[in-house]
Amino acid sequence: MKKTILALLILTSCGVNAVTPTATIETLRITPKNIIVMIGDGMGPSYTSAYRYYRDNKSTDNVEKTVFDRLLVGMASTSPHTSDGYITDSAASATALATGVKTYNTAIAVDVNKKPLETLFEKARKAGKATGLVVTASINHATPAAFMVHNESRYNKDEIANAYFDERINGQFKADVMLGGGRKYFERDDRSLVTEFEQAGYQYIDSMNNFSSLDYNNPKVLGLFAASGLGPRLDDKTPDRLLKQTEVAVRLLEQQVAGFVLLIEGSQIDWAGHDNNIADAMAEMDDFAKALSWVEQYVKAHPDTLLVATADHNTGGMTLSSGEVFGWQPKWLKNIKMSPYTIAKHVIAGTLKLENIASKLGFKLSGKEFSSLNSARKLGTIDLFDAIKRLINEKTNTGWTTVGHTAVDVQVFAAGKQSKIFSGAQDNTDIGKKLLNLLK
């Protein structure tokens, strides 16, 4: 019987309406109580390969597997609606994952005619589940926004922030827990959404240091920890920040008897890819991997929970070699203590002498390397930033093909209840359809 119902779920996810009333009753028994969706923004296959080698213990004969190797179940194509070609942006891809429908780039949970599409969060609300989101970008950024609200453009950031408060499902807000950045969009001269959420019963915190002050008997929390995004992981004074936010969100949401749906995004993997910045890319991957590992263990302890993780697209076209040189050298990334941009900014500001830059890079510079950085220093922050990135790329032998997105397929990772239906080759809309059907 279970095999029959599993087939029905998959057929329905592909648009076939084949579930009978009897099957619906059985479906409830095999439906996850909790669903955790994790998105590594921009995390194409080369990122997970790079992370494996970055984490490799050189004292052993084998290259150790990572959480990505353990949880890999399939691949997904990511193209947007055909009107926009083959390369998606985060908004169209997030809409596909949240609604099961392809749309144009920049669209937030609307179709090509700009009509609202039902999202995973909205359907979860109708099913009586708690909902939450955890990101390292602003909470109204493209990916979380597509799970929450509807807008014709991801760039209408104030409108999207307003909709977090104004749009309701059966009188309820779209999310109980919202953790990330974006304070400047929720605390504006024309409107204080922070105050409005507080008046509506939400606890508000502006620092992760305040997690310990939360009242867990009140699972409604708005946490805004930066004006916009949280900044590079290499510069963050809160270690394992995505993991800490994830733990808090789950602890708050799991009190709901009917279960919960949680979105977790490692937002800044994508930003490092756009910058062709391998140092920040591996730091952000490590942040995401630690949160993913924690969720993996949570699923093992809570077998009624489903974990699905993927990327929305690939960014940067990273290659683990450059030119004719064989070999990738992640050892140069191990001791970097500050993001390349922040290093450049401090040098230009005079708070870090170029002669002392090795203390932040974690490796000594040759005379030629120092001379190259010194020439770039005379041109300003961006030029020095570019020179530092170029130096690290050369040391590690990392190549990049673009500063934009690419059309390559991305990996799919899953564990827990009903995770097998996410195996194999699929489209990102298939993932969205399957998730939505698991809420029936």
Q: What confidence tens digit (pLDDT) does each residue in 356-371 have?
A: 999 999 999 999 999 9
- Look up 90 and say whether it is catalytic: yes
CA-based nearest residue to 218, from 205, 201, 193, 197: 201
Ranking 29-38, 107-116, 123-132, 429-438 by mean pLDDT, the lowest is 29-38
The answer to whether 93 and 432 are in contact (CB under 8 A) is: no
Distance CA 392, CA 401 (A): 16
69 pLDDT above the threshold of 50? yes
The answer to whether 432 and 422 are in contact (CB under 8 A) is: no
Q: What are the backbone angles phi and psi of residue 123, rounded to the nearest 5°?
A: -70, -35
Q: What confidence tens digit (pLDDT) does each residue in 176-191 have?
A: 999 999 999 999 999 9
Residue 380: Cβ within 10 Å count: 11
Which residues are bridge partners to 169 per DSSP?
172
> How far is the CA of 376 from the CAs of 201, 215, 373, 386, in angstroms?
52, 50, 5, 8
Q: What is the pLDDT of residue 13?
A: 44
Distance CA 43, CA 112 (A): 26
* Average pLDDT rounded to a whole number, residues 305-309: 98
Helix or strand (DSSP H, E) at 68:
helix 67-71
Same fold, 34-317 and 330-396: no
CA-based nearest residue to 310, from 266, 275, 248: 266
- The residue whose two tokens read 């991997």 is 289
pLDDT bin (cut points 50, 70, 90) of residue 1 is very low
Q: Which residues of 292-323 are buried (b: 16+ CB within 10 A; e: fewer)?
A: bbbbbebbeebeebbbbbbbbbbbbbbebeee
Q: What are the backbone angles phi and psi of residue 33, rounded to the nearest 5°?
A: -75, -40
Give pairs for 355-364: CB < 8 Å, separation 24+. Answer: 360/336, 361/335, 361/336, 361/337, 361/388, 361/392, 362/332, 362/334, 362/335, 362/336, 362/337, 363/332, 363/335, 363/395
3 pLDDT above the threshold of 60? no
Percent of the chain with pLDDT over 90: 90
Q: What is the pLDDT of residue 323?
A: 74
User: How big is the chain, counted in residues?
Assistant: 440
- The residue whose two tokens read 């104004």 is 166
Beta strands 172-173 and 130-138 are unpaired
CA-based nearest residue to 245, from 225, 271, 215: 225
- In a 13 Å sphere around the CA of 22, the CA atoms on its Cβ side amount to 3
pLDDT bin (cut points 50, 70, 90) of residue 29 is low
- The ranges assigned to domains in the chain are 34-317, 330-396
Give 348-399 as a DSSP string.
HHTSS-GGGTHHHHSSPPPHHHHHHHHHHHTT-HHHHHHHHHHHHHHHHT-B
pLDDT bin (cut points 50, 70, 90) of residue 30 is confident
E strand residue ranges, 119-167: 130-138
7 pLDDT above the threshold of 90? no
Which residues are bridge partners to 185 per DSSP?
none
The answer to whether 429 and 100 are in contact (CB under 8 A) is: yes
> How far is the CA of 253 from the CAs of 131, 163, 177, 178, 263, in angstroms?
7, 22, 8, 11, 12
Q: What confidence tens digit (pLDDT) does each residue in 133-144 have?
A: 999 999 999 999
Of the residues 13, 46, 79, 90, only one is catalytic, namely 90
Q: What confidence tens digit (pLDDT) does each residue in 278-299 have?
A: 999 999 999 999 999 999 999 9
Distance CA 179, CA 6 (A): 34
Percent of the chain with pLDDT over 70: 93
Q: What confidence tens digit (pLDDT) does each residue in 215-255 have?
A: 999 999 999 999 999 999 999 988 899 999 999 999 999 99
The answer to whether 348 and 354 are in contact (CB under 8 A) is: no
Beta strands 72-77 and 314-315 are unpaired
pLDDT bin (cut points 50, 70, 90) of residue 4 is very low
For residue 37, the 8-state DSSP code is: E
119 pLDDT above the threshold of 90? yes
Beta strands 203-205 and 34-40 are unpaired
Distance CA 157, CA 159 (A): 5
Q: What is the pLDDT of residue 15?
A: 39
Question: 34-317: which CATH number, 3.40.640.10, 3.40.720.10, 2.40.110.10, 1.20.1630.10?
Answer: 3.40.720.10
Residue type, 342: T
For residue 97, the 8-state DSSP code is: H
Which residues are bridge partners to 36 per DSSP?
262, 307
Mean of all residue pLDDT scores within the chain: 93
CATH T-level topology, domain 330-396:
Diphtheria Toxin Repressor; domain 2 (1.10.60)
CA-based nearest residue to 6, from 296, 412, 309, 417: 417
Distance CA 214, CA 252 (A): 10
Beta strands 203-205 and 221-224 are parallel
Task: Name residues whose C-beta falls within 8 Å of residue 16's C-beta, 6 or more positions apart in sequence.
Answer: none
